[in-house]
Amino acid sequence: MKEVLAAGNGLPVLLAFFKTSCPICQLSWPYLQRLHGAYGGKSVHVVGISQDDAASSRAYYAAHGAATFDLLLDPEPAFVASNAFDVESVPLLVLLAPDGRIEDTFAGWSKKRMEALGARFASQSVPFVPVIPPGDPVREYSAG
């Protein structure tokens, strides 16, 4: 975990736990990419944590919008990172403060929570960019 926090260069780190077969993970994926595109490296460090093997995870990254944020593997059967964060379902987003404290978590998909993350990472030096564009028909909520 120290390496993940160090890669954040003093920024909060958003961990996105996922499985390649999870339809709600697939639903949330483009919005995580938009969040990373708007704020990644400026006010947050986004990291995808796959519960699948390397080949499946890379194929998922390529097939779902060629994500540009970091990918870490947490495959079966150990699930070391997932167990450390008590992941019971995916997707699970965990926001870590630069010192490693957990600031926020949420499982499943929430349009409101994703919009709030975007607003949270905007600042005077990083302009607000909607993570969910106006008029996007994405559903409000889905459990993981």
Q: Is residue 84 one of the residues assigned to a domain?
A: yes
Q: Is residue 58 one of the residues assigned to a domain?
A: yes
Q: What is the DSSP letter of 44?
A: B
Q: Is residue 126 one of the residues assigned to a domain?
A: no
pLDDT at 76: 83
Distance, CA of 46 to CA of 70 (rounded, Å): 7
Q: Is residue 25 one of the residues assigned to a domain?
A: yes
Q: pLDDT digits over 57-74, tens only?
A: 989 988 876 678 999 999
pLDDT at 58: 87
Q: Is residue 44 one of the residues assigned to a domain?
A: yes
Q: Is residue 128 one of the residues assigned to a domain?
A: no
pLDDT at 136: 95
Q: Is residue 65 one of the residues assigned to a domain?
A: yes
Task: Tell me how many domains the chain contains.
Answer: 1
Checking if the pLDDT of 132 tops 80, the result is yes
Structure tokens that stand for 21 in this block: 């077969």
Q: Is residue 30 one of the residues assigned to a domain?
A: yes
Which amino acid type is present at position 136? D
Q: pLDDT digits over 98-120, tens only?
A: 999 999 999 999 999 999 999 99
Domain CATH number, residue 25? 3.40.30.10
Structure tokens that stand for 113 in this block: 């929570």
Domain that holds residue 71: 10-100
Burial class (CB in 10 A: 0-12, 13-18, 19+), 144: buried
